[in-house]
Amino acid sequence: MSDKPVVLSGIQPSGSLTLGNYVGAIKNWVALQNSHDCLFALVDMHAITVRQDPAALRERCHEFLCLYLALGLDPDRATLFVQSHVSGHAQLAWLLNCHTSMGELRRMTQFKEKAGTHTDNVNAGLFDYPVLMAADILLYQADAVPVGDDQKQHLELARNLAERVNARTGERVFTVPEPFIPEVGARVMRLGDPTAKMSKSDDVPANSIYLLDEPKTVTKKIKRAVTDSDGEIRYDEAQKPGLSNLLSIYSAVADRPIADLERDYAGFGYGRLKGDLAEAVVAFLEPLQKRYAEFSADRAGLADILARGAKAASQRAEPTIEHVYRLTGFVPGG
């Protein structure tokens, strides 16, 4: 077993991966692979909290895995796995449910938002979603969880649950995880409405840049992105949310500080900035999409990666389940 700090994160295979998911989360995952002991999951059990077509869900898991690989996640350095392949997630979620109050879950912003947009299907899973997420993290004794800004509240619940169970049992059952949130790009906003977060399940495709968008689509979307009319290229989230969003995306994709971009574009118009940003995004996406196509063609290779991931993750999850079952008072020997 490695003595590097443990990192765990996950993305639900729903919708289509966006540049927001990359900049807010996966970019950090790739960076952490060398220095940390990493596990990255496709959280399919979370995805079914909203209705999914089974065949499409299956296909999307493969699509997301290929994108993970194309973005540089390496199955030899990180454990890449599917949540439903490891029974410990559901087992631990149940236990944690019994340490979570309804009031805590009722306060969760994501639940309130999703319950508002999926009014025909406000199921118990949607309500309980943050507990399953806490289980994902605590199962592996994760030290750090690289996510975008929107997941802070869920992380806080995972921390509270870890502390609560440790206090109630009097043992160090769980590591208390820290959020790992990027300084730039933690909340990429919609191109058409920079007051709301870009999201992979958005019904309006023009709001998001998808990792599998064609170059000319990307250019068109960026050119049409909402900005403001004062004409000055300056980062100011409150006064200039659209332009600030474009600067953040540029900074993350080109690996350049925002201050440098402000300096370089001082005195230029928005058209120039948008044109250069579109070029930078396309320069990032084109090779990515080529690698994606190569990985997609190798179904046997993908199955092998998932089988390895499932085995490694299951083995790592076992001691946590055993420990917490024993402390709970479950009779051994099952």
Work out how close the CB of 25 gets to ligand LTN at its nearest, in angstroms, rounded to a whole number: 7
Tell me whether residue 216 is one of the annotated catalytic residues. Answer: no
Work out how close the CB of 75 gets to ligand ATP at its nearest, in angstroms, rounded to a whole number: 20
Is the CB of residue 192 less than 8 Å from the CB of residue 204?
yes
The residues, any chain, with a CB within 8 Å of residue 48's CB and separated by 6 or more, are 57, 125
Between 150 and 156, whose beta carbon lies closer to ligand ATP? 150
Does position 147 interact with ligand ATP (CB under 6 A)? The reply is yes
Q: Cite the DSSP H helix spans in 140-240.
A: 152-169, 215-223
The listed partner (ligand ATP, ligand LTN, none) that binds 200, CB under 5 to 8 Å by sort, is ligand ATP
Work out how close the CB of 277 gets to ligand LTN at its nearest, in angstroms, rounded to a whole number: 25
Nearest-angstrom CA–CA distance, 315 and 334 = 17
Does position 46 interact with ligand LTN (CB under 6 A)? The reply is yes
Which DSSP letter does residue 120 get? G
Is the CB of residue 274 less than 8 Å from the CB of residue 223?
yes
Does position 10 interact with ligand LTN (CB under 6 A)? The reply is yes
What is the pairing mode between strands 37-42 and 144-146? unpaired
Does position 240 interact with ligand ATP (CB under 6 A)? The reply is no
The listed partner (ligand ATP, ligand LTN, none) that binds 197, CB under 5 to 8 Å by sort, is ligand ATP
Tell me whether residue 200 is one of the annotated catalytic residues. Answer: yes
Instruction: Map residues 91-130 to x or -, x wherever contact with ligand ATP holds by CB under 6 A.
Output: ----------------------------------------
Counts for the chain of helices (H) and strands (E), in that order: 14, 5
Catalytic residue among 112, 152, 200, 290: 200
Work out how close the CB of 168 gets to ligand ATP at its nearest, in angstroms, rounded to a whole number: 29
Is the CB of residue 228 less than 8 Å from the CB of residue 292?
no
Does position 148 interact with ligand ATP (CB under 6 A)? The reply is yes
Tokens of 33: 């692979």
Does position 320 interact with ligand LTN (CB under 6 A)? The reply is no
DSSP character string of 170-192: TS--S---EEE--SSSSSPBPSS
In the set 147, 198, 261, 302, which binds ligand LTN (CB under 6 A)? Answer: 147
Catalytic residue among 27, 197, 221, 274: 197
Catalytic residue among 114, 221, 240, 274: 114
The listed partner (ligand ATP, ligand LTN, none) that binds 16, CB under 5 to 8 Å by sort, is none
Does position 151 interact with ligand ATP (CB under 6 A)? The reply is yes
**Burial of residue 168 (number of CB atoms within 10 Å: 0-12, 13-18, 19+):** exposed
What is the pairing mode between strands 37-42 and 6-11? parallel
Q: What is the CA radius of gyration of the chain?
A: 21
Does position 21 interact with ligand ATP (CB under 6 A)? The reply is yes
The residues, any chain, with a CB within 8 Å of residue 330's CB and separated by 6 or more, are none
Is the CB of residue 126 less than 8 Å from the CB of residue 114?
yes
Does position 249 interact with ligand ATP (CB under 6 A)? The reply is no
The listed partner (ligand LTN, ligand ATP, none) that binds 89, CB under 5 to 8 Å by sort, is none
Q: Is 155 left (phi over 0), alpha (psi -120 to 50) or beta?
A: alpha
Task: Please list every residue from 186 through 205 that binds ligand ATP, using CB under 6 A.
Answer: 186-188, 197-201
Task: Give catalytic residue positions.
Answer: 114, 197, 200
| Binding-site ranges for ligand LTN (CB under 6 A) | 8-12, 43, 46, 133, 136-137, 145, 147, 151, 154
Q: Which residues bind ligand ATP (CB under 6 A)?
A: 11-12, 14-15, 18, 20-21, 23-25, 147-148, 150-151, 186-188, 197-201
